[in-house]
A and B are shown apart, each in its own frame.
Chain A
Amino acid sequence: MAADPDLPIRIVLFQPTHPGNIGAAARAMKTMGLHDLVVVNPACEIDDVARARSSGARDVLLDARIVPSLTEAVAGCGLVVGASARRRSLSWPELDPRECAEQAVESSRTKPVAIVFGAERAGLTNAEMDQCNALVYIPSNPDYSSLNLAAAVQIIAYEIRRASNVDEKPGEKADAPPASAEGMEYFYGHLERALLESGFLKPDNPRVLMRRLRRIYNRARLDERELNMLRGTLTALASASADARAATDEVMNTPIYLDYAASTPVAPEVAAAMFDCLTGDAGYGNPHSTMHAFGRDAAMAVSRARAQVASLINAAPAEIVWTSGATESDNLAIIGAARFRSGVGKHVVTSSIEHPAVLEACRYLEKDGFDVSYVECDANGLVDPDDIAAALREDTTLVSVMHVNNEIGVIQDIAGIGRLCRERDVLFHVDAAQSAGRLPLDVVAQNVDLMSLSAQKLYGPKGVGALYLNRRRVGRVEPLFHGGGQERGVRPGTVPTHQAVGMGLAFEIARERREDDAERLAMLRDRLWSGIHAMSGVLLNGHSQHRVCHILSVSVTGVEGESLHYALDELAVSAGSACATATTEPSAVLRALGRDDQLARSSVRFSFGRSTTEREIDFAIESFCSAVEHLRRLAPKSEVALA
């Protein structure tokens, strides 16, 4: 059940004449979570009739203040809105109930707000309206516009509740702002090009059709989100038809991108939303400058994005901290949490096959006087929760285990590790850069206290990520940076609005598509594996069942790693992880699985995404097999046999 909005918004009844209306108004307020009732100079008693009509809202009635003047009733208020049953001159800005509520909620963050309702028959005079900053007019049937006072209070109170988002579930999206005129023009341009390309729109006479289509879309009064969705649809259809054309050609466009675990392309809808944010008026204000509309618009966009990210992992929006990416999130989680708790203990547990961002952060802590235990994985790459439990000590404050390994794709039992960490009251950090959008994530059910997320692995932009921070359990973390108090002081620095908007939309799309995407990618992964496994000496890295849908890692015997990768130049794949290829050392993860140096070097990580097609997978199988055969033909027979 949602809480009350708990906003400093008061309802002022000016000279009401009927006690029943006062009681009913109190009831209307309480049903919507408002409690501050002020009655100015009533022309009646607040009697049993009032009490009876207030029903269960007697507390509101009892607490109501009775004051002699409107001036006193609105004392201390910033925004004062007068409710009017009739339209007036242009002297006061006229708001509809929804606009009134939105402004009231926004303005109540800085100063109390009053909504003033006039007497039943007379309403508010212009002299009383002079004490108001705006008027709210409730549209009604012109032939019978006699709205009851309590009913009017009910309408406004409902809109205030709605605007306060108090009933919004964590992660539920707020209404998107309406599409801008420039946004609509970009869309019409995009639509026209797509229709021309499809042949539906004849280039010799495009105007009539386009005009009619404009009429249809204008009537729909699209919001930004809907506009992005439509543009995304156009882009997807264009790329599907390009795929279909490519499928009929003999030649495949190479190299084929099979490195989605390193980075994904930005989803067209995401790019469109970011573009609009960068070029439109709603995006360039500083989201922390909420004194003016530009800042507030940006803040709203950031807050919507925060909710979208939170929603994918079942967190509350306030628990999401923006960062520059998963590497920063890992550092902030590990160094920040360990240091903040250093008074309790200075021992951290992690696994030996974590991402370098985690391992290096741990090594940094070691230099800083902390103890770190590195738990080994088994030959399948799985970390046993019992081994984690065995590594815990009295002074352990933090455990960090990644959900899906970025090199081999195995899935760790984070729910099991989370449970034992909670039992032992140790914080649990999970790097979920590879699992977000591919596996179900629920920080509550999985007992996760800190979770690192990345946009660029999930069709969002590079340069932005997030850290989930369970405020109740973690409290604070020591910030890595120092500056303004943004992100509640945990991560100072201006939030890049367009990046946050991109990540938010990418995560919302991922939430909608996760199951379908995962099913299709697992099918492609299995198709590739059965194709290349038909050849001897191709070994699967990592557990055969506990693995994510989009990563397949293999080691190949009898071929040298560098040559294998050079021979695979038609496939954009990784050797181990992209993060490790800057060095010439073989992958530590593959060594941990028991692969020798040469097998670790001759490993290939294929990773797939939304644009990967079955035809590309078949091409990859052919290309991979012919590269391996070529190199094995060149190698001395003893090497091929020995390996």
Chain B
Amino acid sequence: MSRDPSYSPAVERHFRHPANVGPLGGSRDNMFTGTAGRRDIGARVRFEARIQDGQISRIAFQAYGCPHTIAACSVAAQGLDGAPADALLRVDLDELIRALDVPVEKTGRLLIMQDALHDCFQAWENRGLADSRGQGSPA
């Protein structure tokens, strides 16, 4: 039987066996979350990242969305494990689109994922600012 040409083999792999699926267990200390999207527009994405000393020690995602959204979250989260916190802002969408062969009409879904990553970074930065007001520098 022929396979569905709408999804590349990379999407297929990440959709069926996604990496870094949340929620993260354990302590909520140093845990930062970012969300974006809404169910009624067909995509909602949530990232949880444990960030210590400016480094992402563990990141996981949850997504309600199409196969491309799920695969993109899986690839992005995998690449962010162990990266510096500001890598949350620097996920290269063009590279993701190429790697997953995402059709142009789906790029909006990847922007939702990007928004969730930015939101996560913001949460970390906000905590840092709050902490710096109380204790000094954030990281």
Chain A positions within 8 Å of B, measured between CB atoms, are 254-255, 558-563, 566-567, 569, 596-598, 601, 633-639, 642-643
A254 to chain B, nearest CB (A): 8
Tally of A-B Cβ pairs under 8 angstroms: 57
Can you list 9 residue pairs at the A/B interface with Cβ under 8 Å?
A563-B15, A563-B65, A563-B66, A597-B42, A633-B21, A634-B64, A636-B44, A636-B45, A637-B62
Q: State whether A643 and B39 are in contact (beta carbons under 8 Å apart), knowing that A560-B66, A634-B63, A636-B44 are contacts in the complex.
A: yes
Report the separation of the CA atoms of residues A596 and B43 in the bound assembly, to the nearest whole angstrom.
Answer: 15
A252 to chain B, nearest CB (A): 13
Enumerate chain B residues within 8 angstroms of A562, measured Cβ to Cβ: 42, 66-67
Report the separation of the CA atoms of residues A642 and B66 in the bound assembly, to the nearest whole angstrom.
Answer: 18
B102 to chain A, nearest CB (A): 13
* Cross-interface CB contact of A566 among B15, B21, B44, B64, cutoff 8 Å: B15
B137 to chain A, nearest CB (A): 32
Which DSSP category, helix, strand, loop or mixed, fits chain B's interface? mixed
A597/B7 in contact, CB under 8 A: no
Enumerate chain A residues within 8 angstroms of B70, measured Cβ to Cβ: 563, 634
A634/B21 in contact, CB under 8 A: yes
Total interface residues in chain B, CB < 8 Å:
22
Which DSSP category, helix, strand, loop or mixed, fits chain A's interface? helix
Among B23, B39, B70: residue with most chain A CB under 10 A: B39
Report the separation of the CA atoms of residues A98 and B102 in the bound assembly, to the nearest whole angstrom.
Answer: 72
Enumerate chain A residues within 8 angstroms of B18, measured Cβ to Cβ: 634
B64/A639 in contact, CB under 8 A: yes
A598/B66 in contact, CB under 8 A: no
Nearest first, the 8 closest Cβ-Cβ pairs linking A and B are A635-B64, A639-B64, A636-B62, A562-B66, A636-B46, A566-B67, A560-B65, A563-B67
Enumerate chain B residues within 8 angstroms of A597, measured Cβ to Cβ: 40, 42
Enumerate chain B residues within 8 angstroms of A569, measured Cβ to Cβ: 4
Enumerate chain B residues within 8 angstroms of A634, measured Cβ to Cβ: 18, 21, 62-64, 70
Q: State whether A636 and B66 are in contact (beta carbons under 8 Å apart), knowing that A566-B15, A569-B4, A597-B40 are contacts in the complex.
A: no
Contact with A along B58-87 (1 / 0, CB 8 A): 000011111100100000000000000000
Contact with A along B34-63 (1 / 0, CB 8 A): 010001101111100000000000000011
Q: Name the CB-closest residue of A to B21.
A: A634
* Cross-interface CB contact of B42 among A567, A601, A635, cutoff 8 Å: A601
Q: State whether A598 and B42 are in contact (beta carbons under 8 Å apart), knowing that A566-B15, A637-B23 are contacts in the complex.
A: yes
* Cross-interface CB contact of A560 among B7, B23, B43, cutoff 8 Å: B43
B97 to chain A, nearest CB (A): 18
A596/B66 in contact, CB under 8 A: no
A601 to chain B, nearest CB (A): 7
Q: State whether A639 and B21 are in contact (beta carbons under 8 Å apart), knowing that A566-B67, A634-B62 are contacts in the complex.
A: no
A566 to chain B, nearest CB (A): 5
Q: State whether A560 and B21 are in contact (beta carbons under 8 Å apart), knowing that A566-B4, A598-B40, A639-B39 are contacts in the complex.
A: no
B44/A255 in contact, CB under 8 A: no
A590 to chain B, nearest CB (A): 15
